[in-house]
Amino acid sequence: MLFNSNAFYIFLPIVFVIYWLTPPKHRWGVLLVSSYYFYMSANAKYILLILLTTAVSYGTALVIEKTEEQKKKKLCMGLALLVCLGLLFFFKYFNFLSSSVTAILARASISMSPVTLKLVLPVGISFYTFQTLGYVIDVYKGKTKACRHFGKYAAFVSFFPLLLAGPIERAEHLMPQIEEEHHFEYDKAIRGAKLIAWGYFKKIAIADVLSSSVDIVYNQVTSFTGLALGVATLFYAFQVYCDFSGYSDIARGVACLFDIDLVNNFKSPYFAASVKEFWARWHISLSTWFRDYVYIPLGGSRTGKWKTYRNLLVTFLVSGLWHGASWTFVIWGGLHGAAQIFERIWNQYFPPGKEGKNRFRVLLTFAFVTLAWLFFRANTMSDAIYILTHLFDGITHPLSYVKECYVAFKKAGLIQSNELKLVLFWVVLLMAHDYIALREDVCQWFGRFGKPVRYTFYFALIFVVLYSRQLGEYSFVYFQF
Q: In this model, does residue 379 exceed pLDDT 70?
A: yes
Query: Is 70 exceeded by the pLDDT of residue 378?
Result: yes
**Band of residue 224 on the pLDDT scale cut at 50, 70, 90:** very high
Please tell me the pTM assigned to this model: 0.93
| Average confidence score pLDDT of the chain | 90
Q: How much is the average pLDDT of 320-326?
A: 91
Per-residue CA distances from 456 to 370, 449, 452, 475 (Å): 34, 11, 6, 29
Helix 355-377 with 381-390: angle, nearest 10 deg: 140
What pLDDT is attached to residue 241?
96
Tell me the three state secondary structure of residue 116.
coil
Residue among 343, 277, 272, 285 at smallest CA distance from 319: 285
Contact indicator for 195, 162 with CB cutoff of 8 Å: no
pLDDT at residue 356 greater than cutoff 60 = no
Looking at residue 123, its pLDDT comes to: 86
Distance CA 281, CA 293 (A): 19
Nearest alpha carbon to residue 481 among 311, 319, 292: 319
| Average of per-residue pLDDT across 70-88 | 93
Instruction: Tell me the percentage of the chain whose pLDDT exceeds 90.
Output: 67
Q: In whole angstroms, what is the distance from residue 186 CA to residue 199 CA? A: 20
pLDDT of 236 reads 96
Mean pLDDT of 233-254: 96
Report d(CA 465, CA 309) in Å as an integer: 45
- Residue 203: CB partners within 8 Å, gap ≥ 6? 3, 4, 242, 243, 246, 247, 250, 476
DSSP 378-403: -SSHHHHHHHHHHTTTTTTSHHHHHH
Task: Note the pLDDT of residue 347.
Answer: 87
**What pLDDT score does 299 carry?**
92
pLDDT at position 115 is 77
pLDDT of res. 353? 67
- Between the CA of residue 399 and those of 228, 255, 394, 395, 404, what are the distances in Å? 13, 50, 9, 9, 9
Asked about 323 being catalytic, the answer comes back as: yes
Nearest by Cα to 138 from 94, 175, 97, 87: 175
Range with lowest mean pLDDT among 24-38, 77-91, 424-438, 442-456: 442-456
350 Cβ neighbours under 8 A, 6+ residues apart = none
Mean pLDDT of 31-35: 96
pLDDT category at 477 given cuts 50, 70, 90 is: confident
| pLDDT per position as a tens digit, 144-154 | 999 999 999 99
φ, ψ of residue 112 in degrees (nearest 5): -160, 150
Band of the pLDDT at 64, cuts 50, 70, 90? very high
**How large is the C-alpha radius of gyration of the chain?**
23
With a pLDDT cut of 70, the percent of the chain lying above it is 97
pLDDT confidence of residue 447: 83
- Asked if pLDDT for residue 177 goes beyond 70, the answer is yes
Query: How much is the average pLDDT of 161-173?
Result: 91
Model confidence at 193: pLDDT above 80 = yes
Sorting pLDDT into bands at 50, 70 and 90, what band is 472?
low
Per annotation, catalytic residue among 26, 182, 283, 323? 323
Q: pLDDT band at 219, cuts 50/70/90?
A: very high
> What average pLDDT does this structure show over 76-89?
93
Quick check: 418 pLDDT over 90?
Answer: no
Query: Distance between CA atoms of 164 and 156, rounded to whole angstroms?
Result: 13
Residues 6+ apart with CB under 8 A from 267: 280, 281, 284, 437
pLDDT digits (tens, 9 = 90+) for 125-134: 999 999 999 9
Average pLDDT in the 139-148 region? 93
What letter would DSSP give residue 180? Answer: S
Can you tell me the mean pLDDT for 192-215? 93
Give the torsion sign (CA, 243, 244, 249, 253): positive
Q: Which class for 169: exposed (0-12), middle (13-18), buried (19 or more C-beta within 10 A)? A: buried
Cβ neighbors of 46 (< 8 A, separation 6 or more) are 39, 122, 123
**Average pLDDT, stretch 221-243?**
94
Gap between the Cα atoms of 365 and 359, Å rounded: 10
31-45, 63-77, 219-233, 352-366: the lowest-pLDDT one: 352-366
Binned at pLDDT 50, 70 and 90, residue 409 comes out as confident
